[in-house]
Amino acid sequence: MKNKRRTSFFKLPIIIGVLLPLLFWGCGAKNDGGKDPKKQERPTLSVATIQRGDATVATKYAALLEGKVNVEIRPQVDGTLQHIYVDEGAFVKAGQPLFKIDDQVYREQYNGALAAQHAADARLVAARLDVEKLVPLVKNNVVSDIQLKVAQANYQVAQATVEQAQAATRSASVNLGYTIIKAPVSGYIGKIPFRVGSLVTKNQAGWLTLLSDVSDIYALFSISELDYIRFKKQYTGASMQETLHHVPPVSLMLADGSRFSEQGALTTVSGQFDEATGSVRVRAVFPNRQGLLRSGNTGTVVLESVYRNVVMVPQASTVELQDKVFVFLLGQGNKVQKQVITIAAKNADSYLISSGVNEGDTYVVVGVDKLQDGAVITPVRNAPVAGKTQK
């Protein structure tokens, strides 16, 4: 019995030693200066007030570049290439010879047609002499007038034969001329897939070369139906040509990211949407005085639009969820509210908003990616005011 009491006596200090620290820790947690745990969790975030302002929005469209005239140079007669007077990439002027097809056959055809014409001319002269000889004889009743009528008919036949011969001569001359292929316009020579000695025909599928007049360059691109509707709302006009007249000059970004030295203008918008892509084709024209651009180049057309008196919010102050964009507005008691916004356009760093927020609303500038709807924050107004003029 005495041994059991001694054992209990020795265990008591151990139990007290374990319980005392827990007791003091609990008291310390309750008496920690009287601070509210919720206040300790409030994030301190920058806020700003939404105002209206002007903004320049640059919209970019991938474009294919073409010369204002692209001519497929094709043979119009059959034969073998005898000469190639130009090289790929060369600049040629209108009327300059490009290719020569062996003309021996066509020259002989022309000579034969010319000889037939001369023979027809001689027969016409003989027929006219017969008529002139019979006229006085008929007047003097030496011969009957029937002979004169026959002679006159023969003269008319001879005239028709001459006209046929002349037509055949002209046709042969045209074919002979086709053996020398000349540049219809000034421009740059494209690829030449044929060589001297190659057989070419007027019905062949491939062309001899492609000649491009690149004094002006067409930039061809497509815009979506939504962009087209925005475009029509921003630039009004009684007709499409009048609308395009109000559009400011456009720029062209080259493949290396540099900006082309010349500005261009929108000239045409297709009258029909592509059913497969839901887009409409647009053409911009750029002067190409230095000949830097060629057909087949690619680039990016930059259309800058000025929006007046619009509401803007920095893109960094928004969050995107399920195809919707939100901002956090500051409400009463410094509580934030998640608000969906409708975007009219965007520039490099801001969204232009058509609905969802209003001028004078206060929004959270930074830290919105981890912010929860209904959270209470400590606002700090040291952020720039949204809505100033931007580019």
The pLDDT tens digits of the residues spanning 206-254 come to 999 999 999 999 999 999 998 888 888 888 888 888 889 888 899 999 9
pLDDT of residue 167: 97
CA separation, residue 27 to residues 20, 38, 152 (Å): 11, 20, 142
Terminal Cα-to-Cα distance of the chain (whole angstroms):
95
Which residues are paired to 253 by β-bridges? 259, 300
Q: pLDDT-derived band of residue 153, with 50, 70 and 90 as boundaries?
A: very high
Q: Tokens representing 252?
A: 């062209």
pLDDT of residue 18: 47
Q: pLDDT-derived band of residue 344, with 50, 70 and 90 as boundaries?
A: confident
State mean pLDDT over 53-74: 91
pLDDT of 256 above 80: yes
Between 348 and 175, the higher pLDDT residue? 175
> Measured over all CA atoms, what is the biggest interatomic distance in the chain, rounded to whole angstroms?
187
State mean pLDDT over 65-79: 93
pLDDT of residue 172: 96
3-state secondary structure string, the chain?
A: CHHHHHHHHHHHHHHHHHHHHHHHHHHHHHCCCCCCHHHHCCCEEEEEEECEEEEEEEEEEEEEEEEEEEEEECCCCCEEEEEECCCCCCEECCCCEEEEECCHHHHHHHHHHHHHHHHHHHHHHHHHHHHHHHHHHHHCCCCCHHHHHHHHHHHHHHHHHHHHHHHHHHHHHHHHHHCEEECCCCEEECCCCCCCCCEECCCCCCCCEEEEEEEEEEEEEEEEHHHHHHHHHHCCCCCHHHHHHCCCCEEEEECCCCECCCCEEEEEECCCCCCCCCEEEEEEEEECCCCCCCCCCEEEEEEEEEEEEEEEEEHHHCEEECCEEEEEEECHHHEEEEEEEEEEEECCCEEEEEECCCCCCEEECCCHHHCCCCCECEEECCCCCECCCEC
Q: pLDDT-derived band of residue 382, with 50, 70 and 90 as boundaries?
A: low
State the span(s) of the chain assigned CATH 2.40.30.170.
60-66+215-307
pLDDT of 350 above 70: yes
State the span(s) of the chain assigned CATH 1.10.287.
104-178
pLDDT of 383 above 80: no
* Residue % of the chain over a pLDDT of 70: 87
Residues in Cβ contact with 194 at an 8 Å cutoff, skipping those fewer than 6 apart: 81, 84, 200, 208
Between 282 and 134, the higher pLDDT residue? 282
How would you label 106-138 residue by residue, b for 16+ Cβ within 10 Å and e otherwise? beebbeebeebbeebeebbeebbebbeebeeeb
Strands 52-73, 298-314: pairing kind: antiparallel
Question: Which of the following CATH numbers is that of domain 44-54+308-380: 2.170.8.10, 2.40.420.20, 1.10.540.10, 2.40.160.20?
Answer: 2.40.420.20
pLDDT of residue 29: 44
Contact 315, 350 (CB under 8 A): yes
* C-alpha–C-alpha distance, residues 291 and 86, integer Å: 18
Q: pLDDT-derived band of residue 90, with 50, 70 and 90 as boundaries?
A: very high
CB count within 10 Å of CB 235 equals: 17
Domain 75-101+183-206 architecture = Beta Barrel (2.40)
pLDDT of 36 above 60: no
Between 166 and 57, the higher pLDDT residue? 166
CA dihedral 201, 204, 208, 211 (to 10 degrees): 120
* C-alpha–C-alpha distance, residues 102 and 207, integer Å: 18
* C-alpha–C-alpha distance, residues 57 and 390, integer Å: 9
State mean pLDDT over 90-109: 95
**What is the domain class of 104-178 according to CATH?**
mainly alpha
State the span(s) of the chain assigned CATH 2.40.50.100.
75-101+183-206
pLDDT of residue 349: 86
Please give the mean pLDDT across all residues of the chain. 86
State the span(s) of the chain assigned CATH 2.40.420.20.
44-54+308-380
* C-alpha–C-alpha distance, residues 233 and 226, integer Å: 11
* C-alpha–C-alpha distance, residues 61 and 301, integer Å: 5
Amino acid residing at 245: H
* C-alpha–C-alpha distance, residues 302 and 248, integer Å: 11
**What is the domain class of 60-66+215-307 according to CATH?**
mainly beta
pLDDT of residue 263: 94
pLDDT of residue 260: 95
* C-alpha–C-alpha distance, residues 25 and 369, integer Å: 36
* C-alpha–C-alpha distance, residues 54 and 35, integer Å: 47
pLDDT of 80 above 90: yes
State mean pLDDT over 73-90: 95
Q: pLDDT-derived band of residue 22, with 50, 70 and 90 as boundaries?
A: very low
State mean pLDDT over 160-176: 96
pLDDT of 373 above 70: yes
Q: Tokens representing 84?
A: 């190639």
Confidence (pTM): 0.65
pLDDT of residue 104: 95
Between 5 and 222, the higher pLDDT residue? 222
Between 305 and 93, the higher pLDDT residue? 93
